[in-house]
Amino acid sequence: MKKRIADLPDFDMAQQLKSEEDIAAYITMVIEDGDAAELAHALGVAAKARGMSEVAKATGITREALYKALKPNAKPRFDTINKVCAALGVRLIAQPANTH
């Protein structure tokens, strides 16, 4: 029996992010792709997984402002990114690009 694409359930990445390790792996993967707009979106997905209200409270940023800052193609300030990462229980780190 053939299935139509329209009949498949929608995939929601937020449902896959169940732990800080999941969130860290997802954010790391997005950072490695080098797309700043995608990073904002990924942080929004992770915040949704954790609970946008909880993340907003932890960051001191209103829920509405957080949704705006983390929507696809947004360009959030670094301090916003840093606050969201802290609220998600992850941190951004730098590693040497070339390890010999």
pTM: predicted TM-score of the whole model, two decimal places? 0.79
Cβ-contact 43, 27 below 8 angstroms: yes
67-86: pLDDT as tens digits: 999 988 888 999 999 999 99
Rounded Cα–Cα distance for residues 18 and 56 (Å): 18
Tell me the Cα Rg of the chain.
15
3-state secondary structure of 11: coil
Which DSSP letter does residue 79 get? H
**What parts of the chain have a pLDDT lower than 70?**
8, 99-100
Structure confidence at residue 89 (pLDDT): 92
In the chain, what are the domain boundaries?
A: 20-88
